[in-house]
Structure 1
């Protein structure tokens, strides 16, 4: 009998390619690493006296990881007095490449980390982190010519310009607005706006918080139409949104809240209301407040008679989540960029914490947000978007907008089960209960595994003789020695 169904050869594992997003293309080395960035890293390490440094790369940066680490190692010589410095490359991340992987860095007891590429800037508590953004080429003349076409649109308006991670180096040219070579001076020559603000996105950790952006402001994002633009545009209220793509020299308008993506998210919110079992995917162990948001979701789900399961599977993919057949909808608890997950290829919908809040909290009934919330900390009591949850306001019945059927809360059944659990035997607690529509269901989530044909390996304790100890192989994988 062939065993290829259950295992693969070692060659396939070695030749397997890493999963890279379609819009993530490996940039040239000179855009990711140059003399300026090398000097910044070297000064940061030497000034703080770090000895074990981890270099974290996204998947599409890995082809440059060896050269970057080698150029750093060359600087640690006896002449500099730093010969005991060790550098480690993190080739895989526990959750998302935008998050600082403190878990992997802890395996080598690192005392610092240098993060390359896209970063969500979530607060890190265990390690000092240096963020290294790429430096994409930028034609200032073409940019100014394109903005000149917006003169009538921005007349006497407040304008915010956000620079994507590849264009943060342009911020160095706006030190003095009166300088003719500065970015702000050149933009004011072609934009007859009331006020002009130029910022980087994601913002730096030490960046001062500006006043709340006015709703009639006009916003321009310099970069490609990617996840960072989606995160920024749906969380920021503005009169108009524009995108300028320097790679294609295109300028076009976007309305994020009317996009097809948002309509799909509202559909997933309705699917979350229909769910009888929710899977809470913990995709972060460093973000502040993730345990509080888990407890809040469990409280709201329990008030509606919805069961919850906490899941931690690292970086998610359709194959991993397909193992949880009993879960109707997943709630992703992660960083702001991970919350914007496109779940079209998954078997069950994946919603963000904010979408689950709209589905489970009666305070959101018949309300649609003016802007989205991607940072779940804003939904906690100390957050700006917090709405108090009151279990007494949960409706006993409502109508599903997806199936058109009436949804019943199971809170009555759950209460009776808790009150009578002490008086019932273990076998009686696992008995089946008839519901109003005569549908038979189990009270315990674990019983759903009994219907599966395959339940794992059977240990057969006490039924087999212990195996005899034998001397195995020695050496390295390319040349084992048979003893």
Structure 2
């Protein structure tokens, strides 16, 4: 009888045999000439940037859906730059297609990186980054006719001109090159914050960027125009449904006592201070936390941490909102954690994905002190009502505990817990969620039986290779 592999145990064969489903972007394949191909991928501009800044080793990074065009782009660029300059092709990153893989670029000692496809502008890098978004065509007349009745918009697009007419139009051009912060010519002229009392017009197809826009501007009407299908719709009509899904995930996070902090980026500014803030926040709330770096998320990876009840994903805005229906535990954002740990929850629909804004509002340092100062008036054994199950539950307590509980613990461990194990004997466990989870499991591994069994005599084993042993002197006993 064959045993089907699960997320908890597998032979490893699927790692070699598996195929990755990729929705290939075939926009460039439909172009009629090499001149149009060069214009789409901005070959001339990219080569000029490389020549003017005299970059000697340049990494070209492609998302999976554009990797099929990498060879052609490499050849077209190579013909236009000096022979003393080297180009290297990088595939998708360990985190997300919008993220720049600066670590991989440094492995080849690159001094510049060209990033193809959509990008997250909230990231900060030590290398100069040239962005190539791809110049897709837009039927301007059709676009204007579909948005003409609207009074005010914010156009989220690059290198696209719209006839203003009688509308008040706010527009900021997205930069196509970012320099390191310490570079003398560095300037981060990113689009300014959108006024919440306006109508937003989004040019583009369905994407994570549109989802994030709907979440962070829930009070605005967002109209989407798709250049591919030449259709428009009120995209913000599904905002409430998105918010309700996130609210449900946040309630599951409120019921959790053991958290895993998932490091989903190495380039977003302030990601290290945010991780430190999350650890402090969870410790002040008597929650246990583990910090995990797993790269791209999938259910199999996270299923290895069964003692963790909820994950907090620290990632760029493009990759922060994870639909965790295929995962065994909920995955929430740092902002959702902030709301979940509040004594009195009040969520007006406001949503924050930017790290620096989140730290500016919640990471002032006095919140943790206030939470710890109220521990004397808080009954640690009081049940907590769960909106998920509709029942009361008793929360586990980790980290600093009261003096009454501490008097029962071992002097060597201020956070030791006393409980009965499977043999109905008292045992001491340190402040470890993993140890408590192991103690509660029916199967805890093979019994080592140390000192209980006498060692057997050494015997000559089999010889040969796995497919055909020979010369066996083993005594096979039934």
CA separation of 1:455/1:135 partners in 2, compared to 1, >3 Å: closer, same or farther?
farther
State the alpha-carbon separation in 2 of the partners of residues 415 and 8 from structure 1.
43
Q: 1:44/1:312 Cα in 2 relative to 1: closer, same or farther (>3 Å)?
A: same
Give the number of aligned pairs: 420
Give the gaps of 5 or more residues in structure 2. Answer: 179-186, 422-426, 449-454, 460-478
Match of 1:432 in 2: 419
Aligned twin of 2:72: 67
Indicate the larger mover: 265-274 or 100-109.
100-109
8 Å CA contact 1:240, 1:255 repeated in 2: yes
**1:67: how far off?**
1.5
Q: Give SS of 2:20's match.
A: coil
Whether 2:22 is the aligned partner of 1:34: answer: no
Local SS of the residue matching 1:286: coil
Counterpart of 2:115 in 1: which secondary structure?
A: strand
Residues 79-103 of structure 1 deviation map (CA, whole Å, 9 limit, x = unaligned): xxx3232222112312111111111
Aligned to 2:164: 187
Which whole-Å CA distance do the structure 2 matches of 1:7 and 1:376 have between them? Answer: 39
Tell me how far 1:259 sits from its aligned partner.
3.1
SS in 2 for 1:381: helix
Partner of 1:104: 104
Does the C-alpha gap of structure 1 residues 329 and 413 become closer, same or farther in structure 2, counting only changes over 3 Å? closer
Deviation by residue 1:365-391 (Cα, 9 ceiling, x = unmatched): 331144311112211137899994531
Structure 1, unpaired ranges of 5+: 77-81, 171-182, 435-439, 466-483
SS, match of residue 136 in structure 2: coil
Aligned: 1:444 with 2:444: no
Partner of residue 357 from structure 2, selected from 378, 395, 414? 378
Deviation at 1:115, TM superposition (A): 0.4
Q: Is 1:142 equivalent to 2:132 in the alignment?
A: no
Instruction: Please say if residues 339 and 345 of structure 2, whose CA atoms lie closer than 8 Å, have aligned partners that are also in contact.
Output: no
Among 155, 161, 181, the residue aligned to 2:155:
161
**CA gap 1:209/1:105 in 2 versus in 1, 3 angstroms:** closer
Q: Which residue of 2 aligns with 1:265?
A: 246
* CA–CA separation in structure 1 for the residues paired with 2:142 and 2:366: 46
Q: Is the 8 A contact 1:279 1:310 kept in 2?
A: yes
In the alignment, the residues of structure 1 paired with residue 175 and residue 327 of structure 2 have an alpha-carbon distance, to the nearest angstrom, of: 28
| SS of equivalent to 2:164 | helix
- Residues 379 and 387, structure 1, Cα contact 8 Å, conserved in 2: no
1:94-243 aligned at under 5 Å gives the runs 94-148=94-148, 150=149, 153-154=150-151, 158-163=152-157, 168-170=158-160, 183-184=161-162, 186-188=163-165, 192-193=166-167, 195-200=168-173, 206=187, 208=189, 213-236=194-217, 238-243=219-224
Map residues 49-88 of structure 1 onto 2, 5 A cutoff: 49-76=54-81, 82-88=82-88
Q: CA deviation at 1:317?
A: 0.9
Answer whether contact 1:223 1:243 (CA < 8 A) is retained: yes
Q: 1 CA distance for matches of 2:196 and 2:289?
A: 38
Q: Note the alpha carbon deviations across 1:422-444, whole angstroms, 9 max, x for none.
A: 62489x9575269xxxxx99652
| Offset from partner CA, 1:258-305 (integer Å, 9 cap, x none) | 432211110000000100110100111222222221222122212222
Kindly state the Cα deviation for residue 54 of structure 1 after the two structures are TM-superposed.
Answer: 0.9
What is the CA distance between 1:445 and its match in structure 2? 2.2
Compute the TM-score of the two structures, normalised by the length of structure 1. 0.75
Listed as ranges, the matches of 1:292-371 within 5 Å are 292-362=273-343, 365-371=344-350
